[in-house]
Amino acid sequence: MINVNSRRNARIRVLVVEDHRIMAEGLVALLHARADFDVLGWVATVREAIAMTDQGHPHVVLMDSRLRDGTGAEAAASIHRCHPEIAIVFLSVDDSYDAMLAAMEAGARGYLSKAVAAAELEAAVYGAADGDMLVSAELLATLLNHQQDRRARPVEAARRLSELTDREHQVLELLAAGLNNREIAGQLRVTYATVRTHVRNLLAKIGAHSRLEAVARAGENGLLAPPTGGLQPMASLN
């Protein structure tokens, strides 16, 4: 961290981590134009980012979220673990909550859009070097809520799985295998009307509007087990 009162006497060392050459060279040129900044250069991979950080000891790292050999979050986590004093600011086109949360969890001080104005970027570098957290309280609260929702997904998936009967689960797996209602009826040795009832019930429990959506949601939530060589008819189940 550079004390704000000593900024005039200390240049801010900046490392750019960006896998697109034209973007990286533009950032380097922009930062080089400011006498307060000492730009160490740019790198395009997680490995290079870690190595250059160890060698150059930057005050601020401008980090892209996607690199040639991994993610910016992976690079940031490694850098933050070894050098917690270094300020990491993400500069990315990915404005999803998952991307922002990954950056914050990796130790980033801020997360900026690549559409940001040059003056805002320069201000962010100054602020990060001075120890500022470049995330508003409102956005931080939103990210924390998103984190809680994300952690609750496995619990919700387990709840939905527990609500399916054995027969409904079996029908779901047959739907995932590509069978239609009549084929499922033949496979399970039940009537077509019975299969339609099972499908209607499992759609409601999963919260889907179609069989395709049900299979997609089941897969996303881990409700479908990997194939084990096919299902056998279970005539004893209703």
Residue 209 belongs to a domain with what CATH number? 1.10.10.10
pLDDT of residue 186: 94
Taking the CB of residue 54, how many other CB atoms lie within 10 A of it? 11
Per the domain annotation, does 232 fall within a domain? no
Per-residue model confidence (pLDDT) at position 233: 37
Instruction: Determine the 3-state secondary structure of 12 from DSSP.
Output: strand
3-state secondary structure of 129: helix
- Tens of pLDDT, residue by residue, the chain (238 residues): 555 444 445 799 999 999 999 999 999 999 999 999 999 999 999 999 999 999 999 999 999 999 999 999 999 999 999 999 999 999 998 878 788 888 888 889 889 889 899 999 999 999 999 988 787 556 666 666 666 666 655 566 566 767 889 899 899 889 888 888 999 999 999 999 999 999 989 888 877 767 777 777 777 666 665 444 443 333 333 3
| CA atoms of 216 and 224, how far apart (whole Å) | 10
Please count the structural domains in the chain: 2
What is the spatial distance between Cα 11 and Cα 7, in angstroms, rounded to a whole number? Answer: 7
Nearest to 182 by CA among 165, 201, 199: 199
Residues 127 and 47 in one domain: yes
For residue 121, the enclosing domain spans 4-135
Q: Are residues 9 and 117 in the same domain?
A: yes
For the beta sheet containing 37-43, the strands, ordered from the edge strand earlier in sequence to the opposite edge, are 37-43, 12-17, 60-63, 87-92, 110-113
The residue from 78, 106, 135 where one domain ends is: 135
Whole-model pTM: value is 0.60
Q: What element of type H or E holds 111?
A: strand 110-113
Identify the CA nearest to 172 among candidates 138, 135, 210, 141: 210
235 is a domain residue:
no
Give the number of other CB atoms < 10 A from CB of residue 68.
13
**Three-class SS of residue 41?**
strand
Q: For residues 205 and 160, is the Cβ–Cβ distance under 8 A?
A: yes
Instruction: Kindly state whether residues 34 and 111 are assigned to the same domain.
Output: yes
Dump the DSSP string for 179-193.
--HHHHHHHHT--HH
- Separation CA 111–CA 91 (nearest Å): 6
- Per DSSP, 227 falls in state P
Which of 80, 116, 93 minimizes the C-alpha distance to 20?
Answer: 93
Token couple for 173: 């797996």
- Specify if 30 maps to a domain: yes
Q: Answer whether residue 66 is part of any domain.
A: yes
CATH number of the domain to which 78 belongs? 3.40.50.2300
* Integer Rg of the chain from CA: 26
Q: Give pairs for 202-209: CB < 8 Å, separation 24+.
A: 202/164, 202/168, 202/169, 202/171, 202/172, 205/160, 205/163, 205/164, 205/168, 206/160, 206/164, 206/172, 207/160
Please indicate, yes or no, whether residues 122 and 18 belong to a single structural domain of this protein.
Answer: yes
| Cα 96 off chain centre by | 7
